[in-house]
């Protein structure tokens, strides 16, 4: 048990607390209170690496979630930073992660070459997005698959909406 004496005041400076691995790969937590390992009452700050996920699990006493950054996703939807969710007692879900951003590129910006783990989708909201594969004016949607590589740039101020880490990863052939 951790911090389960409700007659005592507890203060935790979470910025100094160490991340601890969870049972699911790519998911770490800062435990604040815990009744018993992996069941019962618990309060944690949880961080999901791209493409990480928890198996479907029950919340007999319910669950509260506040999304600090990125997007929290589960089988009921996608919830951006600032979202508060309360799942009722007896609910279940299978949470996973992806990353979304609204990016404003100043005129003449050149981004470093990079690869996309679990893919990328872009919507060009204004201006023109450019890479070695083409030029994409306002209103263009493009999807780059897992493992794709490019070196983006812009000539004029450009705003894009980008989502990464959410596409299927092909199975390796043996």
End-to-end CA distance of the chain: 45
The answer to whether the predicted template modeling score (pTM) of the entire model surpasses 0.75 is no
Higher pLDDT, 170 or 116: 116
d(CA 164, CA 143): 10
Whether the per-residue pLDDT at 174 is higher than 50: the answer is: no
Do the two domains 14-97 and 99-164 of this chain adopt the same fold? Answer: yes
pLDDT in tens, 95-132: 877 777 889 999 999 999 988 877 889 999 999 999 99
Nearest to 106 by CA among 141, 161, 151, 155: 155
Instruction: Please tell me the CATH code under which domain 99-164 is placed.
Output: 2.60.120.10
CATH superfamily of this structure's domain 14-97: Jelly Rolls (2.60.120.10)
Which run of H or of E encompasses 122? strand 120-126
Domain locations in the chain?
14-97, 99-164
d(CA 96, CA 94): 7
Contact 159, 126 (CB under 8 A): yes
What was the pLDDT predicted at 38?
Answer: 60
pLDDT in tens, 26-62: 889 888 888 876 666 778 888 888 778 887 888 887 7
What was the pLDDT predicted at 143?
Answer: 92
pLDDT grade, residue 171 (50/70/90)?
low
């Amino acid at each position: 048990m951790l911090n389960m004496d409700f007659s005592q005041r507890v203060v935790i400076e979470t910025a100094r607390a160490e991340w601890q691995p969870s049972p699911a790969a790519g998911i770490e937590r800062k435990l604040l209170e815990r009744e018993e390992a992996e069941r019962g009452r618990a309060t944690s700050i949880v961080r999901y690496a791209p493409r990480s996920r928890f198996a479907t699990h029950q919340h007999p006493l319910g669950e509260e979630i506040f999304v600090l950054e990125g997007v929290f996703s589960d089988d009921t939807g996608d919830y951006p930073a600032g979202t508060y969710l309360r799942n009722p007692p007896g609910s279940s879900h299978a949470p996973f992660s992806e990353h979304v951003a609204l990016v404003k590129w100043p005129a003449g910006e050149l981004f470093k070459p990079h690869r996309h783990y679990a893919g990328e989708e872009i919507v060009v909201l204004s201006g023109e997005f450019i890479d070695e594969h083409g030029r994409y004016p306002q209103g263009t949607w493009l999807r780059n698959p897992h493992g794709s590589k490019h070196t983006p740039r812009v000539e004029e101020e450009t705003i894009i909406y980008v989502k990464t880490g959410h596409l299927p990863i092909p199975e390796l052939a043996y």
